[in-house]
Structure 1
Amino acid sequence: MTEEQINDMFKQGFDCGQVVLSALSSKLDIDEEMAKRVSACFGGGMFSGQTCGAVTGSYMAIGLKNGHCDANTPEIKSKMIELMSDFNDKFLEKYPSTCCKEMLGHDISNPDEMEVILEKGLLTNFCPKVVLNAIEILNEII
């Protein structure tokens, strides 16, 4: 996936978590529609500037590929936690935080600050890079 393709998805109304999860849907054995639906509430840090949607989408991908679903499977859970930690380490090598408003320097849930985000072009210049980096990290670790 390219930054241009990511921007195209943003223009279609999809958010960072949806782009990440749907980009990996075939690798996760789910269809793109399901990927977009399950991750729909996670864009813009859950639309409150909290954990970046690219990060939450990545956690969903890690869980879908490596999550534990049977009782008493600590080895599977440990592997999943290890992968999440690996993702976080690699992500934090590139960005100072996993929090949307800290990364953007503005709170996406505040209408006045959202205007600044749009004026600065962060959603079209910065966020696609974050999404692309998250996808690249996931492709390395899962």
Structure 2
Amino acid sequence: MKPNLDSEETRSGKINVLLADDIKKTQPEMAMALFRKGYNCAQSVFLAFCDQCGMEFETATRLSSSFGAGMGRLREVCGGVTGMFMVVGLLYGYYDPDDQTKKTEHYQRIQYLASQFEEKNHSIICSELLGLEKGKDSPVPELRTEAYYKNRPCEALIGSAAEILRNYIKEQK
């Protein structure tokens, strides 16, 4: 079941996540809308699928909060890709550390998804996707202004990751 996006429940009180009509959006559209609401790239993808993972919205938000901007603004693996991997881990991941077959299958799955994203977007590395020099960025996130959204490909990259993931999940059924 999708989270009630017009509800205002959280652990300590209230949070307005999205408008009620956003519930009808596809997961890629939902991920992009979440990004526009201020969630980071990893959160945006992960939250668009948290209902399928059986995870409560606030827990999913907190769990994925460290992985935005290429992992805490380190500009490494794109947060959208990381969000995709988190969902796949919850849905199809292994749990027995001695099961080499399941580990191999899961790593193949992750490499396949990474290659799908890279094929569409030419990289899975945040700094490369944004045309930035390698290396960590200031820990202070940029303010989300219209100029920010206009100058960054992040929203489209998040949509791309969510679309790849949605298609992958459909193929597994």
What TM-score range do you get, normalising by the shorter chain? Answer: 0.7 to 0.9
Matches within 5 A, 1:1-142: 1=26, 5-46=30-71, 47-106=73-132, 109=137, 118=147, 121-123=150-152, 126-142=153-169
Distance 1:135 1:6, change over 3 A: closer
Distance 1:29 1:16, change over 3 A: same
Q: What percent of counterpart residues are identical?
A: 30
Structure number with greater Rg is: 2
1:64: Cα distance to partner? 1.0
Structure 2 residue ranges without an equivalent (≥5): 1-25
Structure 1 residue ranges without an equivalent (≥5): none
1:105: Cα distance to partner? 0.3
1:23: Cα distance to partner? 0.6
Judge conservation of contact 2:32–2:158 (CA < 8 Å) in 1.
Answer: no
Judge conservation of contact 2:28–2:48 (CA < 8 Å) in 1.
Answer: no
State the alpha-carbon separation in 1 of the partners of residues 149 and 156 from structure 2.
15
Distance 1:26 1:102, change over 3 A: same
Judge conservation of contact 1:52–1:100 (CA < 8 Å) in 2.
Answer: yes
How many residues are aligned here?
136
Answer 1 or 2: which has greater helix percent: 1
Give the structure-2-normalised TM-score: 0.68
Q: RMSD of the alignment, in Å?
A: 2.5
Q: SS at 1:30's partner residue?
A: coil
Q: Letter of the aligned partner of 1:9 in structure 2?
A: L
Q: SS at 2:109's partner residue?
A: helix
State the alpha-carbon separation in 1 of the partners of residues 108 and 68 from structure 2.
24
Judge conservation of contact 1:104–1:122 (CA < 8 Å) in 2.
Answer: no
